[in-house]
Structure 1
Amino acid sequence: MSGPKIAPARLELGTSGAPARPQSWIGHHNVAPDWSAVPQQTVIEIVAKGCLEDPERPAIIIENGPVMARREFLDRCQRFAGYLSDKVKPGDRVVMMLDNRLEFMIALFGIIANRATMVSIAPSAMQYDAGHIVTDAAPTVAIVGKPQLPIIEAVRGNAPALAHIVVVDGEEPDGLAAYESAAEPLDFTTAQCQREDIVTVYYTSGTTGAPKGCMLHHGWWLRVIDVDLRLFRRGWQDRQLCCLPFYYADPAIQLLTSLASRGTLVAMRRFSVSRFWEVVTTYDATEILSIASIPALLMKGEPGPAERDHRIRLAIHAGLPKELHREMLERYGFHWHNQYGSTEGGVMSRVPDHLADKLVGTGTMGVEPPGVTIRLVDDDDKDVPAGEAGECLVGGPDLYAGYLNRPEVTAEANRGGWYHSGDVARRDERGLLYFVGRKKEIIRRSGENISAAEVEGVLRSHPQVIDAAVLPVPDELRGEEVKAYIQIKPGEAVTPEAVIDFCRANLAAFKIPRFIEFRATDFERTPSMRVHKQGLLKEKSDLRQGAFDRETGKIGT
């Protein structure tokens, strides 16, 4: 493998305009220098080095499935890469629509080694949403599971360049066996990848408009892995539990951090409250990565001995519910570190490990890792003082490479040389960040700003509530009112009045939902397991219909 051992200087966002960092702000302790955890220049170098140096150690363990050693994993990756070598050229895009099977990771690295780009599609996508991605990405190859083949065939007309469809079929891990044996392997140690190659495209589920393809290059992946390993050291004894779908970026990050630190990835087929702790104990996991509602859902499950009979020493979560934090620590016996990140920005802040005890239940997202800067600004991009809420502008090396086919959207998001996240946060006098909400999900009621995320957090802390989503309802008098969609635990009976009383004890009066609608089934969810709020908005033209109105005491018709 060729290339310099030290990362070259790179164009980065956030090189000007930020105020000086006050000396009173806290930071992360004992963090090794940049690129000390990942000196490699490409993702493929990490895969090759990690597999060749420790060939017999498991790379991936699939729940109720195969255990694959690094030697075999590298061999299969190289063989599938060889199959693709005459079917893609640098810059070509390959759409992948596949469930949590080991072949997903084999195909991913086979694509990257050929300097092509993996475009992720949720395996549950239907003709409309899959069709949008296929049309926008213009792939030359599609890799799909047999259940997803009819969808790709149905939208194939949208992609005239799509020349090859690879179908993953049969027993795992042999779903690609017919292709792996069709050509000479591509040796990963001599792969010609470049650090600027676009490795992956993930379509973001924005609050408005069609999803945009977020382009990530090798540098983005290397930076995320390097930061993660420097903030929390891992070794051969560590097993990271993946309970997320493979078509999201996090599982591949977990696999690469495992390969770079001699650890192992343990992957669930899909997240399940009833199976979660059984998987943790059966496969001896030591670390958890979770997002969205996962902690709240786990806390609704029945307690059992497996919750304390484990080797977990850390959980990292994006958007930790502060109302449950103390109870989670006491129930499970390990720290959950809140983290803030995005597809565009990677890891943007995390609770410092040395302050984990002191910050339990505060709701803070921590502070930026070394190399990352977050500014909080008003609508004119002017910095706001400590304690005031503002939009998060992110700067640092190796952020995303832009949005596919959307140069004008990219330019707008990066105006002034800073990535405009659309997230609103505040910062205290110590420099700790606190999430307020999405800029487009702030409800404006009678001149007061209400964070949908804050109200949702309170509702999720109700013992009978599984999950909740909060949306604005137009109102002639107050501008907007708060509506809460609430999913109740099966067999439980909760009245709207009881929910309102609970909110009164936990929220300012103006934040209490006026409209409440109960749901008997789970919400439609985005790829990141968040509630798909655009779907809720499309359910009815008048969101007051079928909802309890706190002011009238009746169900709207």
Structure 2
Amino acid sequence: MSETLDHTLAPIDTTGFDRPAHWVKHQNVAAEWSAVPQQTVIEIVTNGCLEDPERPILIVEDGPAMTRREFLCRCQGFAGYLKTFLKPGDRVVVMLDNRLEFMIALFGIIANRATLVSIPPTAQEFDAGHIVKDAAPVAAIFGKPQQAVINAVRGQSPALGHMIIVDGDEPDGLASYENAATPLDFKKAECRREDVITVYYTSGTTGAPKGCMLHHGWWLRVIDIDLRLFRRGWQDRQLCCLPFYYADPAIQLLTSLASRGTLIAMRRFSVSRFWDVVTTYDATEILSIASIPALLLKGEPGPAERDHRIRLAIHAGLPKELHQEMIDRYGFHWHNQYGSTEGGIMSRVPHHLADELVGTGTMGMEPPGVFIRLVDDNDVDVAPGEAGEALIAGPDLYVGYLNRPETTAEANRGGWYHSGDVARRDERGLLYFVGRKKEIIRRSGENISAAEVEAVLRSHPLVLEVAVVPVPDQLRGEEVKVYVQIKVGKTMADLPPEEIIDFCKARLAAFKIPRFIEYREEDFERTPSMRVLKQSLTKAKADLRSGAWDRETGTFGD
């Protein structure tokens, strides 16, 4: 009898919450769980590989392609090796670049009822050490480039006894382990739906990152929602341009397994290579996040942008100012989506309203089975059209935060997950993102969304990336500061601060116009989800006015 794992599913209650009849709805959506009748992720992997064994499941740009037969064989072989020392509930940290071995390790760990704890491959001793100490893993899987960091932080977990290095040519980096023991037949795996199978550490924009625990149910629910909202088949090839250490690539791989499709993976996102990868490997769908669309638009136009088979892109946080330009330039729809590690897919633009909603900025509507309330600081529902924190409910949300029961209880108070995101809903029930609750700047009593100001500035043709933060001010409480990274090959002379201010004045209310502007030459430090790590900006100097241009004086501060 396998031991019981020590965790509690987050309590979610939707009693008495009904959607008004006049709200829009997703159309032609099949019944819940019809796309994913399986009870564990390993069942999806097994069924998907055995159903069509010779079809490729994963192709890495400039790397190998792997059939479902080989993928399952390698996963089962590595799982057999892990079985010699893993027990249910054990945690294994994985610190790897975008290599096929990452996914082999993922499912090998899950099949043993253990938990993969993801560490960004670029992490250094401080951030990797925090994760290792907090997660207390018994094993580490890492590549040669990550070996020094893992060795340096190994002592943070007394239980860390197994060091597994991915070495050699892809996909043979784990071959010596795959062949070291009797393979674990995935059809005989004893996984349970409630097993915690992955831990992803949150961005940590306002404090130390927290380990978000996800069980089989979370993954099954996300895959089921995704496939019911957008049907896929054997002819579909999803493009993954995100790092494997984030959850989205594994979601894309599992939806491909469940629909007989193929996943095309980039080593890392690149504007210059993006469309060549799309056309070379015949991708049909794109998933993107953060500033990817804005960065693509900054690239030089080329014939590959229209010579493709893409029929849809799904993006989290689509910039409304760029939406129509994206469709005109690339020739397909980009659907805005709202989601999080804790809540999974929480809303998406309904497919039948795609044309009508271009450029509106809406995040769409909750899919069937997901519920969102907008509340004030006292958890009282706000009136229609007013902004409030988004509270999420539905089956199989995240389990909780690792080692933080009080934080989990606070986030889930009242039976609803408190997202920390501020949104509003229009008269049709469509949702609009306002900003992060902790990233709302209060200037002279007015609320300013950092995300709104950033979206406007990203639409400037010479702006590559921006970040907006508050600056303490004795008179107004807080002022708005923007960090600006200009497009490669351009300088401040091409985009002086006065032009930035004029650009904002034409598009924003007067109280939202930034007061301080600071130029950056290097890229911003980023979170695992590719968002700008604003904590690194606000802690870089004691006085955030220093070195910034001040709109009120027209000069740069000392």
**Residue matched to 1:38:** 36
Question: What is the CA distance between 1:14 and its match in structure 2?
Answer: 4.1
SS of the aligned residue for 1:437 comes to: strand
In 1: Cα distance, 2:551 partner to 2:427 partner: 38
Aligned AA for 1:402?
Answer: G
SS of the aligned residue for 2:233 comes to: coil
In 2: Cα distance, 1:513 partner to 1:441 partner: 15
Once the two structures are superposed, the pairs formed by residues 339-358 of structure 1 within 5 Å of their partners are 339-358=337-356
In 2: Cα distance, 1:28 partner to 1:206 partner: 33
TM-score, length of structure 2 as denominator length: 0.97
Once the two structures are superposed, the pairs formed by residues 376-455 of structure 1 within 5 Å of their partners are 376-455=374-453
Consecutive unaligned residues in structure 2, runs of 5 or more? 1-7
Tell me if 1:209 matches 2:210. no
Tell me if 1:524 matches 2:522. no
Consecutive unaligned residues in structure 1, runs of 5 or more? 1-9
**Residue matched to 1:72:** 70
**Residue matched to 1:553:** 554
In 2: Cα distance, 1:287 partner to 1:307 partner: 13
Query: Contact 2:10–2:412 (CA<8 Å) still a contact in 1?
Result: no
Aligned AA for 1:30?
Answer: N
**Residue matched to 2:184:** 186
In 2: Cα distance, 1:198 partner to 1:541 partner: 41
What CA RMSD, in Å, does the superposition of the two structures yield over aligned residues?
Answer: 0.9
Aligned AA for 2:548?
Answer: A
Query: Contact 1:18–1:375 (CA<8 Å) still a contact in 2?
Result: no
2:129 aligns with one of 128, 131, 146: 131
Question: What is the CA distance between 1:538 and its match in structure 2?
Answer: 1.5
SS of the aligned residue for 1:303 comes to: coil
In 2: Cα distance, 1:156 partner to 1:490 partner: 39
Question: What is the CA distance between 1:18 and its match in structure 2?
Answer: 5.3
Query: Contact 1:352–1:366 (CA<8 Å) still a contact in 2?
Result: yes
Question: What is the CA distance between 1:207 and its match in structure 2?
Answer: 2.9
1:81 aligns with one of 69, 79, 83: 79
Per-residue Cα deviation, 1:374-402 (whole angstroms, up to 9, x for no partner): 00000000000111000000000000000
In 1: Cα distance, 2:525 partner to 2:259 partner: 36
Query: Contact 1:14–1:373 (CA<8 Å) still a contact in 2?
Result: no
TM-score, length of structure 1 as denominator length: 0.98
Question: What is the CA distance between 1:491 and its match in structure 2?
Answer: 2.1
Query: Contact 2:143–2:167 (CA<8 Å) still a contact in 1?
Result: yes
**Residue matched to 1:309:** 307
**Residue matched to 1:57:** 55
SS of the aligned residue for 1:397 comes to: coil
1:475 aligns with one of 473, 487, 499: 473
**Residue matched to 1:98:** 96
Aligned AA for 1:304?
Answer: G
Aligned AA for 2:517?
Answer: I
Once the two structures are superposed, the pairs formed by residues 478-497 of structure 1 within 5 Å of their partners are 478-492=476-490, 493-497=494-498
In 1: Cα distance, 2:66 partner to 2:17 partner: 49
Aligned AA for 1:240?
Answer: Q
In 1: Cα distance, 2:210 partner to 2:552 partner: 40
SS of the aligned residue for 1:374 comes to: strand
2:260 aligns with one of 253, 259, 262: 262
Once the two structures are superposed, the pairs formed by residues 504-519 of structure 1 within 5 Å of their partners are 504-519=505-520
In 2: Cα distance, 1:19 partner to 1:166 partner: 49
Query: Contact 1:95–1:142 (CA<8 Å) still a contact in 2?
Result: yes
Shift of the 532–424 alpha-carbon distance from structure 1 to 2, 3 Å rule, reads same
**Residue matched to 2:250:** 252
Tell me if 1:22 matches 2:20. yes
Aligned AA for 1:253?
Answer: I
SS of the aligned residue for 1:457 comes to: helix
Shift of the 256–208 alpha-carbon distance from structure 1 to 2, 3 Å rule, reads same
**Residue matched to 2:154:** 156
Query: Contact 1:11–1:397 (CA<8 Å) still a contact in 2?
Result: no
Question: What is the CA distance between 1:11 and its match in structure 2?
Answer: 6.8
Question: What is the CA distance between 1:20 and its match in structure 2?
Answer: 2.8
Tell me if 1:538 matches 2:536. no
Query: Contact 2:10–2:398 (CA<8 Å) still a contact in 1?
Result: no
Greater CA drift, 218-227 or 154-163: 154-163
